[in-house]
Amino acid sequence: MRRFAADRARRAVAASLRGAASSRSAAASPLAPAPCHPAPPVGAAAMAAALARTMSTAAAGTPPVSLNTINPKVLKCEYAVRGEIVTHAQNLQQELQKNPDSLPFDEILYCNIGNPQSLGQQPVTYFREVLSLCDHPALLDKSETHALYSSDAIERAWQILDKIPGRATGAYSHSQGIKGLRDEIAAGIAARDGFHASGDNIFLTDGASPAVHMMMQLLIGSEKDGILCPIPQYPLYSASIALHGGSLVPYFLDEETGWGLEVDELKKQLEEARSKGITVRALVAINPGNPTGQVLAEENQKKIVEFCKNEGLVLLADEVYQENIYVEDKQFHSFKKIARSLGYTDDDLPLVSFQSVSKGYYGECGKRGGYMEITGFSPEVREQIYKLASVNLCSNVSGQILASLVMNPPKAGDESFESFMVERDGILSSLARRAKALEEAFNSLEGITCNKAEGAMYLFPRLHLPQKAIGVAQAAGTAPDAYYAKRLLEATGIVIVPGSGFGQVPGTWHFRCTILPQEDKMPAIISRFKEFHEKFMDEFRD
Amino acid sequence: MRRFAADRARRAVAASLRGAASSRSAAASPLAPAPCHPAPPVGAAAMAAALARTMSTAAAGTPPVSLNTINPKVLKCEYAVRGEIVTHAQNLQQELQKNPDSLPFDEILYCNIGNPQSLGQQPVTYFREVLSLCDHPALLDKSETHALYSSDAIERAWQILDKIPGRATGAYSHSQGIKGLRDEIAAGIAARDGFHASGDNIFLTDGASPAVHMMMQLLIGSEKDGILCPIPQYPLYSASIALHGGSLVPYFLDEETGWGLEVDELKKQLEEARSKGITVRALVAINPGNPTGQVLAEENQKKIVEFCKNEGLVLLADEVYQENIYVEDKQFHSFKKIARSLGYTDDDLPLVSFQSVSKGYYGECGKRGGYMEITGFSPEVREQIYKLASVNLCSNVSGQILASLVMNPPKAGDESFESFMVERDGILSSLARRAKALEEAFNSLEGITCNKAEGAMYLFPRLHLPQKAIGVAQAAGTAPDAYYAKRLLEATGIVIVPGSGFGQVPGTWHFRCTILPQEDKMPAIISRFKEFHEKFMDEFRD
């Protein structure tokens, strides 16, 4: 064996001398010590290593890890929400810090991501009080604590600790999450829907993203497994499908009807995928929509449920914006409520509902709390889902506590109830005003049309760009909406995500913009945006 | 298209009548409404659905998701630490709650997993004070806060908040984690190792597990990609390699030499894997060892580093037990320190060090904090790692804060320093006493030999079982060590993990047992264990 190694080393030297050491195994150093020799003391070893480095430069020129050797699925995966434009923005931000007068704006405004607290939204006091107490339970025994925390937060912290085995907030929990907290979440779901929910069906996760990955990992075995996804979609789905090596089967939302989700279109795409030999495993529905902001009508949801039932698809319902509804005439209905109201039970339809503490009025993105409620899976398959959860042991316990709180906020009569409602309604009504102000601003501009933000945290306006702008972008090898986003950033400091990161009907161009900048900043942002846009249109007018 | 659907539905009905509806597509209900019809109102729809259920029972007998249709890699993955024995223990615990006298013990003792706070270890006060303040920053403005928190914890909370953009602990952070916290961690690493470390190389993660998955996802493209793993190993590695479809290339630790890691063995296994056409991408080294508890000698680590450098392997160093050393004659050295002391730089060797807040003396498993430090990767590959991190947005911010705290605990002169050191040393010295007491107890028994727990949180004793016991277990289709573990649980309530869950030399039998039960419980546990073991040996004596 040792002789074999020596032979390989000789071949490697020969190859490096020919300058042809391109294969990974040729990276073996010709000075490799025979395995059994004791290593020399540090000083000498360092010298020998330095010598080896000098002598084997050519062989070492092939690094052990390169884009050619890593998992090609990782290369294929894209995630625009934190993509190129954000990296560019971060670089500009550093430039601003070093040299505040170097750019035509004095701050970067991150409208690329639904991250409310990064733009100044304050956390909801009651939730933070409870978390703070659970982090340091010794406080609960001290009388001074009553001077700092509301009495119902103290009581709630006790209740939560009593649900945690040994009151140990620092222990790994059950892999699905703490049973008592899951039961509380199930009670919140039942109160929301008017249908039974069980803590046994809840899997608490670090935000919704790991839950989505877990389901994709379960459902996708090869590129022959397809997942129906809306276009435009939140790129977590395309990224996760790419990472797990499946096929994204697109269905297009209809911009003309306010991003309507038509079952005809689902059917058409499903048949087309099947004709290509793809087994479609699941349908992703995002309601309220991301990036599109629409809220599905109840009748539409019924048809989607029936479609999944009839076609034997898992319904993956992204419902993380369930609290973010800004119009009077729309309401959130969970897909589970819709399915149950149609008379469908666990036997009819496997259904997963994703929820997150990052969204809602609370916007606690940094806490990474969330859950999925799974129904309609056989015990054997559930066991596999549990195994996937258990490999990561459990989600973070603060996030678990917060998930149970947002699903069961203070009730009338609780000491914190009134102040809680003031905070909650203040945030939601402000979001509604901001959504409307931005939508009107976009629609007032030449070359932009924008659907209503009925819910979620985004607008997804369409750019009707002059042909000249499209030509310039394409000549630079950039998608026209990416070109627009880059120019906007460089002129105003506003960060948006080009529509091409979400998918769109070919030949149309959009961008996603959050509605999250604080209200006092909105007029200035709108006027900066308008000024840029008008100049841009003038520059490229056909 | 509609006619096509109707045809399919007809075929499905025909198939169900023949009782042959086994294909997934046959699950389509014959009563599926044509896609364009408006859905009937709820009541009628529910009736129609119920009718459809009745009529399509046979077709619906093929569920959309079954063990035959899910990702086969998920089926293949195993995770013994939370496997069958733990599920059995949880069931017994429920039985005990319902009927306290039904079993020959009054509590379940979870020695299956390194989860100190679940067994009564108290969190370190200073860390929890800081976390509690960061969760509710409004406290920092109140004078009453000084009555409840130490002044250096208050100061530290301010420092941390000042490192977080907008002091927003509820915002998504940079995908690698908050820059200021990463810099602080890098400073802690540099102080530990005496070599430079950079915050740019730190990726904060929800515990170490997601970091391990991220690296496996990066490195494994197919079953032709191999990862050298110790046997016995922590089953996160085998699980993650299975989930990502790679090949685990085992190398055996030598029980005779206290679980020594011999480079001869590495070399042998590497060559064997290569001869099978496997490209070995990385070597996993766990130091201190899990499940084996050994601490590698510096000379041994040097040889491992040189082996990786010479063979072009990524060194994946699991160093989560770096603070858990219980013997005078051993010290922890990070692999990065070893590599740098050998004179190797970023150009020589890609190296990843995993660290977690779950272990150490703090044992904050529920907080899901951790990081990986990556060095020696090209900018293009780093970008791919960053992309993987960004798809999950970021790790939880409380965990990030805690990771920065454990790498920079209170220093001499700080108000909390003395009480902090009392807590820290109390835990570590107690762990050392418990490790020794358990080791001596195991070694005092007939048919058990046990190496020293030099570090980590486990003992991995070898069971020399009577042939009769092996025969009975095998007749029952169970591994002999799994049979032993089950019998132990049922007799004593003590949960251990069979060695077969970690891998072992074929024909040898072991179990992993944590050293974590509190000291006052140790004598009773040891005597329960002894009593069981002696009876077991008597029962099966050849």
Nearest C-alpha neighbor of A364 from the set B97, B28, B112, B135: B135
Gap from A322 CA to chain B (nearest CA, Å): 19
Dump pLDDT digits (tens) for B51-102.
444 333 334 457 789 999 999 999 988 877 667 898 899 899 999 989 999 9
Within its chain, how far is the Cα of A327 from the centroid? 24
Judging contacts by C-beta atoms under 8 Å, the chain A residues touching residue B212 are none
Nearest C-alpha neighbor of A232 from the set A257, A252, A249: A252
With an 8 Å Cβ cutoff, is A129 touching chain B? yes
Q: Is the pLDDT of residue A181 over 50?
A: yes
- Give A 330-359 residues with CB within 8 A of chain B: 341-344, 347-348, 350, 358
Interface contact B391-A243, CB threshold 8 A: yes
Measured CA distances, B167 to A120, A128, B129 (Å) = 9, 14, 17
Q: Is the pLDDT of residue A17 over 70?
A: no
Interface contact A70-B219, CB threshold 8 A: yes
Q: Is the pLDDT of residue B103 over 60?
A: yes
Cα nearest neighbour of B377 on chain A: A65
User: Any bridge partners for residue B283, and if so which?
Assistant: B228, B315
Interface contact B128-A115, CB threshold 8 A: no
Rounded Cα gap, residues A401 and A127, in angstroms: 9
pLDDT averaged over chain A? 88
Rounded Cα gap, residues B32 and A273, in angstroms: 20
Dump pLDDT digits (tens) for A275-307.
999 999 999 999 999 999 999 999 999 999 999
Q: What is the average pLDDT across A222-240?
A: 95
For residue B214, with 0-12 CB atoms within 10 Å meaning exposed, 13-18 middle and 19 or more buried, which class applies? Answer: buried
Mutate to test the interface with B, among A136, A275, A335 (most CBs of B within 10 A): A136
pLDDT averaged over chain B? 88
Cα nearest neighbour of A145 on chain B: B148
Instruction: Kindly give the interhelix angle for B480-492 and B84-98, rounded to the nearest 10 degrees.
Output: 20
Interface contact B69-A271, CB threshold 8 A: no
CATH 3.90.1300.10 fits A151-407, yes or no: no
Within its chain, how far is the Cα of B343 from the centroid? 32
Judging contacts by C-beta atoms under 8 Å, the chain A residues touching residue B132 are 132-133, 135-136, 139
Interface contact A267-B5, CB threshold 8 A: yes
Of A4, A65, A115, the CB nearest to B350: A65
Judging contacts by C-beta atoms under 8 Å, the chain B residues touching residue A356 are none
Rounded Cα gap, residues B324 and B331, in angstroms: 10
Helix (H, G, I), strand (E, B) or coil at A325: strand
Rounded Cα gap, residues B45 and B59, in angstroms: 20
Amino acid at site B47: M
Neighbours of B188 (CB within 10 A): 19
- Give B 275-334 residues with CB within 8 A of chain A: 279, 281, 299, 302-303, 306-307, 309-314
Cα nearest neighbour of A171 on chain B: B366
The confidence band for A61, taking pLDDT boundaries of 50, 70 and 90, is low
For B276-378, where are the alpha helices, taking DSSP H only? 298-311, 335-341
Residue B542 is predicted with a pLDDT of: 72
Instruction: Kindly give the interhelix angle for A379-391 and B235-243, rounded to the nearest 10 degrees.
Output: 120
A218 compared with A52, residue with greater pLDDT: A218
Question: Tokens at residue B293, please?
Answer: 């508890």
Residue A303 contacts residue A335 (beta carbons within 8 Å): no
The counts of H helices and E strands in chain A are 20, 14
For residue B514, with 0-12 CB atoms within 10 Å meaning exposed, 13-18 middle and 19 or more buried, which class applies? Answer: buried
Judging contacts by C-beta atoms under 8 Å, the chain B residues touching residue A397 are 366-368
Mutate to test the interface with B, among A119, A215, A240, A342 (most CBs of B within 10 A): A342
- Give A 22-41 residues with CB within 8 A of chain B: 24-25, 27-29, 31-33, 35-36, 38-39
Residue A463 is predicted with a pLDDT of: 97
Interface contact A60-B348, CB threshold 8 A: yes
Domain with CATH 3.40.640.10 in chain A: 151-407
Nearest C-alpha neighbor of B150 from the set B409, B419, B406, B408: B419
Of B171, B303, B363, the CB nearest to A39: B303
Q: Is the pLDDT of residue A57 over 70?
A: no
The counts of H helices and E strands in chain B are 20, 14
DSSP strands (E only) in B123-211: 202-205
Cα nearest neighbour of B212 on chain A: A392
Cα nearest neighbour of A281 on chain B: B64
Rounded Cα gap, residues A481 and A96, in angstroms: 25
Angle (CA) A407-A375-A346 rounded to 5° is: 130
Interface contact B45-A302, CB threshold 8 A: yes
- Give B 55-114 residues with CB within 8 A of chain A: 60, 62-67, 69-75, 77-79, 81-82, 113
Interface contact A64-B281, CB threshold 8 A: yes
Mutate to test the interface with A, among B29, B36, B70, B514 (most CBs of A within 10 A): B70
Gap from B188 CA to chain A (nearest CA, Å): 23
Residue A84 is predicted with a pLDDT of: 83
Rounded Cα gap, residues B86 and B485, in angstroms: 10
Cα nearest neighbour of A222 on chain B: B71
Radius of gyration, alpha carbons of chain A:
27
Could you give the ipTM of this predicted complex?
Answer: 0.87
Phi first, then psi, for residue B180 (nearest 5°) are -60, -35
Residue B157 is predicted with a pLDDT of: 98
How many Cβ pairs closer than 8 A exist between chain A and B? Answer: 388
Interface contact A24-B312, CB threshold 8 A: yes
With an 8 Å Cβ cutoff, is B132 touching chain A? yes
Judging contacts by C-beta atoms under 8 Å, the chain A residues touching residue B217 are 71, 73-74, 243
Residue B61 is predicted with a pLDDT of: 55
Judging contacts by C-beta atoms under 8 Å, the chain B residues touching residue A46 are 341-343
Q: What is the average pLDDT across A469-484?
A: 94
Dump pLDDT digits (tens) for B324-382.
999 999 999 999 999 999 999 999 999 999 999 999 999 999 999 999 999 999 999 99
Residue B25 contacts residue B8 (beta carbons within 8 Å): yes
Judging contacts by C-beta atoms under 8 Å, the chain A residues touching residue B365 are 170-172, 393
The confidence band for A62, taking pLDDT boundaries of 50, 70 and 90, is confident
Dump pLDDT digits (tens) for A402-421.
999 999 999 999 999 999 99
Dump pLDDT digits (tens) for A125-161.
999 999 999 999 999 999 999 999 999 999 999 999 9
DSSP structural state of residue A107: -
| CATH number for the domain formed by residue range(s) B73-108+431-540 | 3.90.1150.10
Highest mean pLDDT: which range of A20-24, A67-71, A106-110, B422-426: B422-426
Question: Tokens at residue B455, please?
Answer: 């570090």
Q: Is the pLDDT of residue B30 over 50?
A: no
Helix (H, G, I), strand (E, B) or coil at A338: helix
Judging contacts by C-beta atoms under 8 Å, the chain B residues touching residue A5 are 267, 271
Helix (H, G, I), strand (E, B) or coil at B306: helix
Interface contact A342-B117, CB threshold 8 A: no
- Give A 201-230 residues with CB within 8 A of chain B: 206-207, 209-210, 213, 217-221, 225
Residue B455 is predicted with a pLDDT of: 94
The confidence band for A18, taking pLDDT boundaries of 50, 70 and 90, is very low
Rounded Cα gap, residues A202 and A188, in angstroms: 12
Nearest C-alpha neighbor of B171 from the set A461, A358, A240, A301: A358
Q: What is the average pLDDT across B259-269?
A: 94
Domain with CATH 3.90.1150.10 in chain A: 73-108+431-540
Using DSSP bridges, classify how beta strands A109-110 and A494-495 pair: parallel, antiparallel or unpaired: parallel
Q: What is the average pLDDT across A82-100?
A: 89
B326 compared with A26, residue with greater pLDDT: B326
Dump pLDDT digits (tens) for A417-462.
999 999 999 999 999 999 999 999 999 999 999 999 899 999 999 9
With an 8 Å Cβ cutoff, is A133 touching chain B? yes
Residue A64 is predicted with a pLDDT of: 86
Rounded Cα gap, residues B213 and A76, in angstroms: 18
Gap from A466 CA to chain B (nearest CA, Å): 33
